[in-house]
Structure 1
Amino acid sequence: LFGSYLTFTTTAVFTYLLILLLHIVLETGAALREANSS
């Protein structure tokens, strides 16, 4: 039970970090495109 809980927590944290990283990359890309176009 503890092992499966640990696995679930690790997966949730990893997924959260992955989404956060993707969001940062998209935001940075959009900012760079705006800077380049102007």
Structure 2
Amino acid sequence: MRDNPGIYPPADVRAKLFTLKVQEPKIDRVRTRAWTKVKSGK
């Protein structure tokens, strides 16, 4: 498992990773509704 790059990505991949900033509830709600529309095909 230690050699699995999907679990432990190499340093060059880790350097490109990022996290999303916490958004206001209103923005988060809009994003969630848009993603739900994409997933449901509506």
TM range (shorter): 0.3 to 0.5
- Tell me the TM-score normalised to structure 1 length: 0.47
Structure with the larger helix share? 1
Task: Name which structure has the greater RCO, CA cutoff 8 Å, separation 6+.
Answer: 2
- Tell me the TM-score normalised to structure 2 length: 0.43
